[in-house]
Amino acid sequence: MFKLVMWSLVHVLVAFLLTTTSFASPESEAEAFFQRNDAGGHTNNWAVLVCASRYWFNYRHMANALGMYRTVKRLGIPDSNIILMLADDVSCNARNKFPGAVFANSGHNGAERLDLYGENIEVDYRGYEVTVENFIRLLTGRVDPSVPPSKRLLTDSSSNVFIYMTGHGGNEFLKFQDNEEISAFDVADALEQMWQKNRYNEVFFMIDTCQANTMYSKIYSPNVLATGSSELSENSYSYENDNDIGVSVIDSFTHHVLQFMEGINKTSHASMQDLFHTYTFESIRSHAGVRSDLFRRPLDKTKITDFFGGVAQAGTVPPVSEDEEIEATNITDLEGSASSGAGSYGAVLEDFASSEHAFGAWSPSRAWGAVAVLVVGCGVVFSLSCQI
Amino acid sequence: MAYAIPAAIAGRFLLSFTSIYDSLKYDHLLTSPLTSYPRLQEGVFLYKHGIDPYSGGGFYHSPLLLSLFSTVLPQYSPIPQLLWASCDIISAYSLAQIWRLRSKDETGRRDGRIAGSYLLNPYLFLPSLALSTSSLENALFLTAIVFACRGKTVPSLFTLALLSHLSLPSVLFLPPFVMLLHVSPTSALASATKESTLRLGSSIKSFFIFAICMSFASVCNLITTGGWDWVYRTWGTGLLLPDLSPNTGLWWYFFTEMFDHFRPYFLMVFSVHLLIYVAPVCMKFKHDPLFAIFILQGLLAIFKPYPTLSDPGLFLSMISVFPEIFPYLRHPIVTALLHLHASLLLPLFHSLWLAQGTGNANFFYASTLVFGMANGAAVTDCMWAGLRVAFGQKDGVEYVQE
């Protein structure tokens, strides 16, 4: 009897000694991963691109929005994470000399025109659906139950949202579809609702209209970075006309930003500060502004791809050396490996693999240990029984 | 007759060299998610390659099997088949030993028939050919009973603890085992009124020994997997029913069509349903605990979460150890015909549902219900007969209740 008790205690002790790996809490591991590289804690990216104008002569606003759309898609945000609001009456307009195409650059000097409309765009709100009410409902998430998921902003508290608006504007207002206006206060309140509902991690608000900087002057929610094309009482100008299309095809500010973006790819480490430093009155022809007082990270540490791209992060896994049968899994440290991710995906793989590694290293010895213990146990039991 | 058993044994070993396993290994009647050999192979493979086999979700075997099959027991055919054949032989031998201890028969005259009833029972040898670990469970169960009949406390409870690690419902056999350890296994069905020789102190000591054996096996499991995940994944499977593969039991169909908010309640009901049989059966048969174990095994075989054919098969084979009840069975032919009916319908409707596609799950579940009815008829008949033996014939007059 006493022998049994002692022997079982010894075994419990042995088991405790053999038990390995106490993990740090999963939450702190995940947080450490997402905060590294000054990533700011976002895991996915969304973009809301709004062209608030309609009619043929506002061709350039459509081209602005489509240019941003193309850039954002190129840098990795998938259509499922982009909400594109366009009046969409330009590409198939009777006046369009190039039907089914929208260009953002003129064809003079024999330049190649880049078709932004193409075959592969997904417009979520088109025509008369682009209203102030729909825009505010989209941002705040207070949509009718019948609204399909593709038209909702399904962000969470670790989403970085890029909001781009273009159209005709004025002092603290933006004209929607020649019909109604949204004011800077509406935008500020919508963003505050988003903040209260944990619908964003950080917002980058870009606006290209006349007197654009007034539109972001009323925002009061944290983690918002804003930039606009012109100051109060200042107009924003278009960049160039196209003689074949007959109207202006792109606005200066958006053109400037898109030119900058052409030099950016998914692996770029360029920061927002780099973008803002390129603003000059000569190239934009208005005083573009930046508002960063609500933004908690330093601008030179905030990457362009934090807002414009869908960048996946991965980590290296040390090879499992014991067993030659498994090929060593080496995932080299890439940023933006696959465009399948809309954001930095946790390769908590690294930590997971290291825990697996610990499991694997021990398992043959573990199994033999357990079998040995079992055999010893059986031996003791049956020898005891012979005595009984 | 003397050649029957060696022939059966030889046949069984010969069969292990065929490739019949390959056609039977996925059969839903012969194996369940808890006992399937391909799942065990997968778990061992994952374990050997350093991946936690319990993280996947398809592996529900105990870490005891994991450790044994990844180290000492090789998996090259035909060694597992030979191993299972040996388990069958051990089980048949144990059953014969139980008979000898119960009937105090030293001549071994009936041994052949007893061993034959185990080896030739198709409900038992088919799962064994499919390498279902329920055959290992049967072997452990019968050897535990042999030790208990001999009064050897520690080996019996140790084997029962190992069995409980493989199949959690077997932990419910503890009370009748404890009772059996302290009385002789000879048939006392006829003398139901004699005083029980059970003592409280020795019972508590037995429970304590069982607890130590269970924790010893748990420690082995802890060493194997390095954590306590296995508790949730092995024992938790029978309680939470994550896998709803069809089997010969009664649980799976219920839970496939159950709303999620009723699940916890019905899981509790079905589990408590198993518990409620233990006390009445033990109390009613406290004069003959071996019979109590027999009846309880039959009941658990019907109502356990993931049964295979070998669970009721063991019950039917064990009937041969209790010939005193044969004259008092009321409807053995009905039971036999129900079993015949069920054994024809089960594979037929299974194939109709899953192979041909002209039937649906209701067909198969109906045949499972018929099978359950057949087993229920067998258990209730044996229970009746076991109680009826106590009345018997007195003074040449048939004792009949008014």
Mean pLDDT of B105-128: 88
Q: What would the pLDDT profile of B24-65 be if each residue is shown by its tens digit? A: 888 899 999 999 999 999 999 888 888 888 887 789 999 999
The shortest C-alpha distance from B244 to chain A (Å) reads 29
Percent of chain B with pLDDT strictly greater than 90: 61
Where residue A135 falls among pLDDT bands split at 50, 70, 90? Answer: very high
Amino acid at B73: L
Q: Which two tokens stand for residue A188?
A: 């500020």
- Min Cα–Cα distance to chain A from B100, Å: 20
Domain contains A62: yes
CATH number reported for the structural domain that contains residue A250 in this entry:
3.40.50.1460
Which of the four pLDDT bands, split at 50, 70 and 90, describes residue B203? confident
Q: Return d(Cα A40, Cα A104) in angstroms, integer.
A: 33
Which whole number is the average pLDDT over A55-72?
Answer: 94
Q: What mean pLDDT do residues A39-65 have?
A: 90
> Is residue B397 predicted with pLDDT exceeding 50?
yes
A159 pairs with which residues across the strands?
A44
Distance CA A184, CA A205 (A): 12
> Which residue in chain B has the smallest CA separation from A21?
B226
Beta-carbon separation of B220 and A370 below 8 A = yes
Whether A304 and A343 map to the same domain: the answer is no
Chain B residue numbers touching A381 (CB-CB < 8 A): 154-155, 158, 213
Whether B201 contacts chain A with CB within 8 A? no
pLDDT band of A320, cuts 50, 70, 90:
low
Contacts of A323 in chain B (CB under 8 A): 48-50
**Residue A249, domain member (yes or no):** yes
B54 touches chain A (CB under 8 A): no
Q: Which residue has the higher pLDDT, B265 or A365?
A: B265
Question: How many C-beta atoms surround the C-beta of residue A102 within 10 A?
Answer: 26
Average pLDDT on A194-198 reads 95
Please give the mean pLDDT across all residues of chain A.
82
B399 burial level (CB within 10 Å; 0-12, 13-18, 19+): exposed
Radius of gyration of chain A (CA): 29
Q: Is residue A316 part of a domain?
A: no
Point out the residue among B158, B224, B225 whose CB comes nearest to the CB of A381: B158
Nearest CA in chain A to B227: A19
Instruction: Write b or e for each residue in A351-369: b if 16 or more Cβ atoms lie within 10 A of its Cβ, otherwise e.
Output: bebeebbebbbbbbebbbb
Q: What is the pLDDT of residue A6?
A: 65
The answer for A172, left when phi > 0, alpha when psi is -120 to 50, beta otherwise, is left
A388 interaction partners in chain B (CB closer than 8 Å)? 152-154
* Structure confidence at residue A267 (pLDDT): 86
| Residues A329, A287 share a domain | no
B48 versus A386: which is more confidently predicted?
B48
Q: Quote the DSSP letter at residue B356.
A: I
| Residue B246 and residue B364 in contact, taking contact as beta carbons nearer than 8 Å | yes
The number of domains in chain A is 2
Chain A contact for B158 (CB, 8 A cutoff): yes
Query: Per-residue pLDDT averaged across A256-279, rounded?
Result: 92
pLDDT score of A341 more than 50:
no
- Residue A153 pLDDT more than 50? yes
Burial class (CB in 10 A: 0-12, 13-18, 19+), A257: buried
Say whether B209 and A378 touch across the interface (CB within 8 A): no
| Cα of B84 to nearest chain A Cα, Å | 19
User: Residue A41's pLDDT is what?
Assistant: 76
Residue spans per domain, chain B: 4-391
Q: Is residue A195 scored above 70 in pLDDT?
A: yes
Confidence of residue B339 (pLDDT cuts 50, 70, 90): very high
Q: How confident is the model at residue A86 (pLDDT cuts 50, 70, 90)?
A: very high
Residue A337 pLDDT > 60: no
Contact assignment for B49 to A19 by CB distance below 8 Å: no
Structure token digits, residue B114 = 């007893």
pLDDT value of residue A326: 41
pLDDT above 70 covers a percentage of chain B that reads 95
Q: Which of A308, A333, A355 is the last residue of a domain?
A: A308
Q: Which residue of B46, B205, B212, B219 to mutate against A (max A Cβ within 10 Å)?
A: B219
Residues A247 and A371 in one domain: no
Tell me: the pLDDT tens digits for A205-232? Answer: 999 999 999 999 999 999 999 999 999 9
The answer on A17 and A51 residing in a single domain is no
| Choice among A151-160, A217-226, A335-344 with the minimum mean pLDDT | A335-344
Is B224 close to A366, i.e. CB distance below 8 A?
yes
Q: Which residues in chain A touch residue B152, judged by CB atoms under 8 angstroms apart?
A: 385, 388
- Tell how strand A180-183 and strand A173-176 pair up: antiparallel
Tell me what pLDDT residue A22 has: 42
Whether residues A201 and A97 fall in one domain? yes
- Residue B154, chain A, CB below 8 Å: the answer is yes
**pLDDT tier for residue A243 given thresholds of 50, 70 and 90:** confident
What stretch of H or E contains B32?
none
Spatial CB neighbours of A258, under 8 Å, sequence gap ≥ 6: A67, A68, A71, A104, A250
Runs of H (alpha helix) within chain A: 2-18, 26-35, 59-74, 132-140, 184-196, 252-262, 272-277, 281-284, 305-308, 349-387
Determine the average pLDDT of the residues in A148-162.
93
Residue B199 pLDDT more than 80? no
Q: Which of A356, A371, A378, A384 to mutate to test the interface with B (most CBs of B within 10 A)?
A: A371
Q: Do A260 and A341 belong to one domain? A: no
Question: Are residue A92 and residue A138 in the same domain, yes or no?
Answer: yes
Write out the two tokens for B396: 């040449």
Tell me if B73 sits within 8 A of B166, measured CB to CB.
no
Domain boundary residue, one of A274, A308, A342:
A308
Burial class (CB in 10 A: 0-12, 13-18, 19+), B22: exposed
A371 and B68 within 8 Å at the Cβ level: the answer is yes
Task: Choose between A103 and B185: higher pLDDT.
Answer: A103
Among chain A, residues having any CB pair with chain B shorter than 8 Å are: 4-5, 8, 11-12, 14-15, 18-21, 320, 322-323, 325-326, 356-357, 359-364, 366-371, 373-374, 377-378, 381-382, 384-385, 388
Clarify whether residues A280 and A344 are in a common domain.
no
Query: Is A108 an annotated catalytic residue?
Result: no
Residue B263 predicted with pLDDT over 80: yes
pLDDT confidence of A311, banded at 50, 70, 90?
Answer: confident
Question: Which of A278, A308, A338 corresponds to the end of one domain?
Answer: A308
Compute the average pLDDT of residues B270-298.
93
Alpha carbon distance A148, A167 (integer Å): 26
Confidence check: pLDDT of A336 > 70: no
Min Cα distance A313 → chain B (Å) is: 24
Cβ distance of A359 and B154 shorter than 8 Å: no
Whether B120 shows a pLDDT value over 50: the answer reads: yes
Reply yes or no on whether the pLDDT at B5 is more than 90: no
Q: Are residues A31 and A51 in the same domain?
A: no
- Predicted local distance difference test score (pLDDT) of residue B312: 95
What is the DSSP secondary structure assignment for residue A113, as one 8-state letter?
P
One-letter amino acid at A202 equals E
Radius of gyration of chain B (CA): 21
Residue A81 sits in the same domain as residue A212: yes
Averaged pLDDT score across all residues of chain B = 89
Structure tokens at B57: 């979700």
Query: In angstroms, what CA-CA distances link B64 with A150, A352, A370, B140?
Result: 50, 25, 8, 13
d(CA A226, CA A203): 8
Inter-chain residue contact A381 with B223, CB threshold 8 Å: no
Claim to verify: residue A100 and residue A213 sit in the same structural domain: yes
Taking residues B327-348, report their average pLDDT: 94
**Lowest mean pLDDT, pick from A311-315, B223-227, B352-356:** A311-315
Active site residue A51: no
In the three-class reduction of DSSP (H, G, I as helix; E, B as strand; rest coil), residue A335 is classed as strand
Instruction: Tell whether A314 is covered by a domain.
Output: no
Are A221 and A363 members of one domain?
no
Question: Cα-flanking dihedrals φ and ψ of residue B295, to 5°?
Answer: -65, -40
Shortest CA gap B200–chain A (Å): 17
pLDDT at B229 over 80: yes
Q: Which residue of B has its CA nearest to A4?
A: B212
Q: What is the pLDDT of residue A110?
A: 78
CA distance A51 to A356: 50
Residue of A nearest to B213 (CA): A8
Q: Residue B220: which of A362, A374, A388 has the nearest Cβ?
A: A374
DSSP state of B29: T
- In terms of residue numbers, what domain contains A289? 44-308
Asked if residue B199 lies in contact with residue B212, where contact means CB atoms within 8 angstroms, the answer is no
Distance from CA of A22 to the nearest CA of B (A): 10
